[in-house]
């Protein structure tokens, strides 16, 4: 099939390459000349503008957006809209908020354009291993794109599916990432306890490798943990500073909105916030309170 | 090799069968006649008593304990001790507390008997897929038992290893189970949020299967989650009642003892306790307090 | 001073009575005839409609809204707006979201009307003990209403103050309620542990009373806890079902938005959600997962 | 009455002074010459050794221990035991673990000596405001010491009481401290959110003072928070480093032991542990994992 890839960053370029490798014709666009150049080297045809990109595709066109979630998606859609025709399909493969997706889908439906949301998991490994794809939107449109999804997924009939109406794909991906936060935090805590138990002299790298085979906690994330420990067994030089993108926050907000208590996913997010606190006001106040009521000594900051 | 298996419950019998399948000679003992009978049907030679069991093994004997953690281990060791000779090896393959293990190991060392602790993961699937084995204790003794561990593990050179001195195996298994609690809770929360989002009509079974391929959260526990949902998609008839064995509690206690904050593992345990609260006094008091200060209505219990 | 009270529910009627008791002239309105009647019995002049209410006040009028947060506030303001004149002051004394307050304040400022937000704490006890008032909005307008705030507060110069621009009062009240959740949960957990420690036969009512005098945990909420236990020492007949209004949720969302980790306030909210889960899907899934991988028995629901 | 105070540190000296102020005769001992000297200046008679101390008291003696919890208590009791006579009373007023207390009580009972445990709350403020006393042990012995407890408490008939058998006092105090952790953390989080909301320019000192009067969250700990903010409004120079003594840990362990989920008290403890982590291994591993699977940048430590 023919597909236009909008956004040739790490994810977009990888996905374009995987599609090309499966015999699809991909025309890509990125505002950055370097990104376009690199994509060309990976056998992706590139266009110098969105206008050019759309011009190189025959209706009914398929446009895959792989751009940063948020305003960039809205801006891209606004720029694409006058260029598209009825029956074209736009897919948002990024980590958009599902509520934005529903709003965009309704708007584009008003113009006869199908808007699919495709939660895309697999990270930089997806290029080789295939991506897990959770798709929301019109059933017929999803069916039409079967060859695309089949190529991106690990196997034609596995690792992808339409999970519901517009927004359902991004909702499912949001939950996926919430779970990911919780799993990562569980591993991180477990390894941290072992690391602190110096009396036993545990070799974390070895433990990770043992657990990869036969254990109840084996997982793809454990494989990555083993890789990380192989690369840097004591994690030297790494700052204890954990970023978060939006999906963890959205999962927490959604859970509360639905009156579901999700303490582990929630705490996983809070721990990331905490990791970036250099000088916690709460902790300073606690120390000050202890001094006030109990005369306990305060440690002075440097 | 020749090995005596003490305890032919679900785990012990499976492990005996796997060893037999790999050409080892296993003599098993269990106080229950039925357990012995079933083991016999699985090509395990059985003995009617510990005395008989030991009598059927040639020094230097290998005795594998697969009995409930706690007092039963101490009782079994006490019964075995007069029957054993210097150079024999006793392995505790259960979920004993690592501090008990260290105490037992020191005691048996005084009698010239090697005591190995083998944290064993894999559940009922270990029979076919092999077990992940984290071993603590004397290095030479572990080396001598290489054929046993190689047979129990998923592959001769993978999924097992000596991780440290006496106690290190059970310590590592304890942490493994703490991580397991956290991972399970993360999945459970994520699926619970999706289940509550009725507006999107998500099919949890389908989502689990999509995630099995290519996603960041794919894991052996996710495979089991998919199995559970295949078996009973809406979890009909299952009480929201989650048991816990000791390792989660020990992990929480150990983390605090080491001054490591492990909120996700800790909350995973607390959620299990909470699942078994039918009539929370804390929640009743909260409702009563709200009535006192705000005049808010109290819901009456039936 | 002269003041129009819109909303004569539990809080509005009490505040009107307290103002009347301090010599202010209060005209009240409530859509409910019974609420108006009861207010009349408490020496509050009542009006049969908002139009009548406004008509009975001389510019520059003071209108105090004590209506449910959310759409009712917007609807009330929309109805009031054409009746008001430049220089009038509208105060929202309810638990509105501070972002709504900022929006409303900006809108009314465009009409020359001052909009103050007054976070009001004290519950049903405020009538006698006075209210704690956190006020946001125009400094001169707050100053003009000094007699009103002085009368509502526990003492003329204590327990009230302008804390910042429009929205600051409701923001501060939101945080106040978040803290309240955390404190309540801390007490509830502590008493629940004592209640469960049956071997010591602790008398919770007695403990609460001992703590009221001289202890580090003495507080107004502890006094209410003691009242609750005096009234019903074993909390018989009270369902373990804890409601939450919006401020706890907003506090959690705000903390995350500001990248502040606030685990205790957050968990206090989640525990309330949890208290209302009768049949937790997460817990059912955990039980099902345990059965899948470990063969552990599932408890059947009735 | 006549009482021997063993330990003249901050708490012991204050309590001795309060007793003297109420007309009791207190003989104090402390191994430190300076502590003895300071106590003398506060009208406490001092003894140079435990032997001397006991010699100065008439049977049936009353010995109050105000020494660090743990081994010092055992050592002090061991030293006292041969000096005491049947019918003497020893009170442990410190923060001992209630299980140790039960063990010591049983041991001393075997020698005909009453052992009371007195959980003592009030901090350095107890000298002026009186202490809250939770007492465990023999009822008649408690009754005999009524004048002592009445003098230490805020009022003769308030703020103290026998709550149960040996250990019950320390158990209750342990829970008290767990609640204290939760309350402190709730305030600290709330103030931290306000501090971060720079757009509103909230004055935390002012907010604390407003809340002291009429609010639902008013408390003795809030008074101390206000004091702390009065002293140092921005908490300059205070390290975000929060100590914990044993009672918080014991509360968490006890709750789990009793199968009570106490997430807020538990998280309050974990936050204190977290405040002392300078270079969290868990957070470093999370950052490394993100790099492995998503190619996300790692922040380097300095």
ipTM confidence = 0.97
SS3 B11: helix
Q: Please calculate the CA angle D241-D243-D246 and round it to the nearest 5 degrees.
A: 160
Kindly report the three-state secondary structure assignment for every residue of A34-80: HHHHHHHHCCCEEECCHHHHHHCCCCCCEEEECCCCCHHHHHHHHHH
pLDDT band at A302 (very low <50, low <70, confident <90, very high): low
Show which of residues 109-148 on chain D sit within 8 Å of chain C, judged by CB atoms: 121-123, 126, 129-134
What is d(CA A222, CA C107) in angstroms, rounded to the nearest whole number?
Answer: 54
Kindly give the confidence (pLDDT) of every residue in chain C, 302 residues in length, as a single tens digit, with 9 standing for 90 and above: 999 999 999 999 999 999 999 999 999 999 999 999 999 999 999 999 999 999 999 999 999 999 999 999 999 999 999 999 999 999 999 999 999 999 999 999 999 999 999 999 999 999 999 999 999 999 999 999 999 999 999 999 999 999 999 999 999 999 999 999 999 999 999 999 999 999 999 999 999 999 999 999 999 999 999 999 999 999 999 999 999 989 999 999 999 999 999 999 999 999 999 999 989 999 999 999 999 998 888 888 86
Q: How many CA atoms lie within 13 A of A175 on its CB side?
A: 27
Tokens of A129: 């291993």
DSSP C61: P
Beta-carbon count within 10 A of C236 CB:
9
Q: Which of C226, C236, C241 is nearest to B283 (CA)?
A: C241
When scoring C180, C221, C274, C281 by the number of chain B Cβ atoms within 10 A, the one with the most, hence best to mutate, is C281
Dihedral sign computed on CA atoms, order D219, D225, D231, D233: negative
What is d(CA C7, CA C16) in angstroms, rounded to the nearest whole number?
Answer: 10
Q: Which of D11, D10, D7, D14 is nearest to D28 (CA)?
A: D7
What is d(CA C214, CA D126) in angstroms, rounded to the nearest whole number?
Answer: 7
Dihedral of the alpha carbons of D199, D201, D202, D205, in degrees to the nearest 10 = 150
| CB-closest option in A124, A240, A296 to D294 | A124
Q: What is the distance of C-alpha C185 from the center of its chain?
A: 17
What is d(CA C76, CA C51) in angstroms, rounded to the nearest whole number?
Answer: 11
Q: Across chain C, how many H-helices and E-strands are there?
A: 14, 8
SS3 B198: helix
Q: What is the pLDDT of residues A203-212, one digit of tens each?
A: 999 999 999 9
C274 neighbourhood in chain B, CB within 8 Å: 274
Count of CB pairs separated by less than 8 Å, B with C: 194
Tell whether B216 lies on the interface with A, counting CB pairs under 8 A. yes
In percent, how much of chain A has pLDDT > 70? 100
Count of CB pairs separated by less than 8 Å, A with D: 194
What is d(CA C149, CA C136) in angstroms, rounded to the nearest whole number?
Answer: 13
Contact A289 D224 (CB under 8 A): yes
pLDDT band at A245 (very low <50, low <70, confident <90, very high): confident
What is d(CA C87, CA C59) in angstroms, rounded to the nearest whole number?
Answer: 8
* Residue C302 pLDDT: 67
Q: Per-residue pLDDT averaged across D63-80, rounded? A: 97
Residue count of chain D: 302
C173 neighbourhood in chain B, CB within 8 Å: none
Q: What is the pLDDT of residues A213-243, one digit of tens each?
A: 999 999 999 999 999 999 999 999 999 999 9
Contact D261 B273 (CB under 8 A): yes
* Residue B278 pLDDT: 86
Q: What is the pLDDT of residues B171-209, one digit of tens each?
A: 999 999 999 999 999 999 999 999 999 999 999 999 999
What are the residue ranges of helices labelled H in chain D?
10-21, 33-41, 50-55, 71-80, 98-109, 126-129, 139-144, 146-152, 168-196, 204-211, 220-231, 246-257, 263-275, 281-294
DSSP letters, B285-301, are: HHHHHHHHHH-PPPPBP
Question: What burial letters (b/e) apply to B192-201, b meaning 16+ CB within 10 Å?
Answer: bbbbbbeebe
Tell whether B273 lies on the interface with A, counting CB pairs under 8 A. no
Quote the minimal CA–CA distance from C59 to chain D in Å: 30
Q: Per-residue pLDDT averaged across D177-205, rounded? A: 98
Tokens of A172: 């499912």
Contact A163 B203 (CB under 8 A): yes
Show which of residues 36-75 on chain A sit within 8 Å of chain D, judged by CB atoms: none
Residue D190 φ/ψ, nearest 5 degrees: -60, -45
Greatest alpha-carbon pair distance for chain B in Å reads 77
- pTM of the shown model: 0.97
What is d(CA C228, CA C233) in angstroms, rounded to the nearest whole number?
Answer: 7
Q: Would you call D275 exposed, middle or buried from its count of C-beta atoms within 10 A (0-12, 13-18, 19+)? A: buried
CB A277 within 8 A of CB C261: yes
Q: What is the distance of C-alpha C125 from the center of its chain?
A: 12
Q: What is the pLDDT of residues A261-277, one digit of tens each?
A: 999 999 999 999 999 99
Quote the minimal CA–CA distance from B59 to chain A in Å: 30
Q: What is the distance of C-alpha A207 from the center of its chain?
A: 28
Touching chains, D (3+ CB pairs < 8 A)? A, B, C
Contact D270 B262 (CB under 8 A): yes
Q: How many CA atoms lie within 13 A of C131 on its CB side?
A: 28
Contact D267 B269 (CB under 8 A): no
Touching chains, A (3+ CB pairs < 8 A)? B, C, D
Tell whether A185 lies on the interface with D, counting CB pairs under 8 A. yes
Q: Per-residue pLDDT averaged across D227-238, rounded? A: 96
Contact A239 D298 (CB under 8 A): yes
* Residue C297 pLDDT: 86
Residue A105 φ/ψ, nearest 5 degrees: -60, -40
Tell whether A277 lies on the interface with C, counting CB pairs under 8 A. yes
CB B210 within 8 A of CB A133: yes
Contact A163 B210 (CB under 8 A): yes
Tokens of A134: 């959770």
DSSP D276: T
Kindly give the confidence (pLDDT) of every residue in chain B, 302 residues in length, as a single tens digit, with 9 standing for 90 and above: 999 999 999 999 999 999 999 999 999 999 999 999 999 999 999 999 999 999 999 999 999 999 999 999 999 999 999 999 999 999 999 999 999 999 999 999 999 999 999 999 999 999 999 999 999 999 999 999 999 999 999 999 999 999 999 999 999 999 999 999 999 999 999 999 999 999 999 999 999 999 999 999 999 999 999 999 999 999 999 999 999 989 999 999 999 999 999 999 999 999 999 999 989 999 999 999 999 998 888 888 86
CB C26 within 8 A of CB C91: no
* Residue B13 pLDDT: 97
What is d(CA C11, CA B300) in angstroms, rounded to the nearest whole number?
Answer: 24
Query: In angstroms, what CA-CA distances link A244 with A74, A177, A180, A271, A274?
Result: 22, 10, 11, 10, 11
DSSP letters, B115-170, are: EEEEEEE-GGGHHHH--EEEEES-HHHHHHTHHHHHHHSSBTTBSEEEEESTTHHH
Angle at which helices B246-257 and B263-275 pack, to 10 degrees?
140
Fold held by A173-277: 1.10.1040
What is d(CA C263, CA D259) in angstroms, rounded to the nearest whole number?
Answer: 21
Contact A175 B183 (CB under 8 A): no
Dihedral sign computed on CA atoms, order A254, A258, A264, A266: positive
Contact C192 D219 (CB under 8 A): no
| CB-closest option in D121, D172, D206 to C214 | D121
CB A119 within 8 A of CB A110: no
Dihedral sign computed on CA atoms, order D92, D93, D96, D98: positive
**Would you tell me which CATH number, out of the four given (3.30.9.10, 2.40.10.10, 3.40.50.720, 3.40.190.10), belongs to the domain B2-165?**
3.40.50.720
Q: What is the distance of C-alpha A256 from the center of its chain?
A: 22
Beta bridge mates, A155: A158
DSSP C64: E
Beta-carbon count within 10 A of B86 CB:
10
CB B252 within 8 A of CB B262: yes
What is d(CA A160, CA C190) in angstroms, rounded to the nearest whole number?
Answer: 48
C10 neighbourhood in chain B, CB within 8 Å: 295
Residue A199 region by backbone torsions, left for phi larger than 0, else alpha for psi between -120 and 50, else beta: alpha
Q: How many CA atoms lie within 13 A of C268 on its CB side?
A: 36
Q: Per-residue pLDDT averaged across A152-168, rounded? A: 98
Tell whether B238 lies on the interface with C, counting CB pairs under 8 A. yes
Contact A175 B158 (CB under 8 A): no
Tokens of B76: 């079994």
A11 neighbourhood in chain B, CB within 8 Å: none
* Residue C196 pLDDT: 98
What is d(CA B143, CA B146) in angstroms, rounded to the nearest whole number?
Answer: 5
Show which of residues 240-259 on chain A sit within 8 Å of chain D, judged by CB atoms: 240-243
* Residue B190 pLDDT: 98
Contact B264 A129 (CB under 8 A): no
DSSP letters, A230-256, are: HH-TT-TTB-S-----HHHHHHHHHHH
A186 neighbourhood in chain D, CB within 8 Å: none
Beta bridge mates, D238: A300
Please give the positions of D annotated as active site.
173, 180
CB A165 within 8 A of CB A133: no
- The domain segmentation of chain A, as residue ranges, is 2-165, 173-277
C298 neighbourhood in chain B, CB within 8 Å: 238-239
CB D34 within 8 A of CB D46: no
Q: How many CA atoms lie within 13 A of A66 on its CB side?
A: 23
What is d(CA B10, CA D144) in angstroms, rounded to the nearest whole number?
Answer: 60
What is d(CA B193, CA B185) in angstroms, rounded to the nearest whole number?
Answer: 12
* Residue C301 pLDDT: 83
């Amino acid at each position: 099939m023919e597909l236009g890839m909008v956004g040739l960053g790490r994810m977009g370029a990888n996905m374009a390459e995987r599609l090309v490798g499966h015999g699809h014709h991909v025309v890509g666009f990125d505002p950055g000349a370097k990104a376009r150049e690199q994509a060309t080297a990976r056998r992706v045809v590139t266009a110098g503008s969105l206008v050019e990109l759309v011009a190189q595709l025959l209706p009914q066109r398929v446009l895959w957006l792989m751009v940063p979630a948020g305003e960039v998606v809205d801006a891209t859609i606004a720029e694409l809209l006058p260029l598209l025709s009825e029956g074209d399909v736009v897919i948002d493969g990024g980590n958009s908020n599902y509520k934005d997706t529903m709003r965009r889908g309704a708007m584009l439906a008003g113009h006869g354009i199908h808007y699919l949301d495709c939660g895309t998991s697999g990270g930089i490994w997806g290029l080789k291993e295939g991506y897990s794809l959770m798709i929301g939107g019109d059933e017929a449109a999803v069916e039409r794109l079967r060859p695309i999804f089949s190529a991106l997924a690990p196997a034609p009939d596995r690792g992808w599916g339409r999970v519901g109406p517009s927004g359902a794909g991004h909702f499912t991906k949001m939950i996926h990432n919430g779970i990911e936060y919780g799993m990562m935090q569980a591993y991180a805590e477990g390894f941290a306890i072992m690391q602190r138990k110096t009396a036993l002299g545990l070799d974390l790298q070895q433990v990770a490798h043992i657990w990869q085979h036969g254990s109840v906690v084996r997982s793809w994330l454990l494989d990555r943990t083993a890789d990380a420990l192989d690369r840097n067994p004591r994690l030297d030089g790494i700052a204890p500073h954990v970023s978060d993108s939006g999906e963890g926050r959205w999962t927490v907000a959604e859970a509360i909105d639905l009156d579901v208590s999700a303490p582990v996913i929630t705490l996983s997010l809070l721990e990331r916030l905490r990791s970036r606190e250099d000088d916690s006001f709460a902790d300073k106040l606690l120390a000050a309170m202890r001094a006030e009521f109990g005369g306990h000594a305060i440690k002075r900051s440097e």
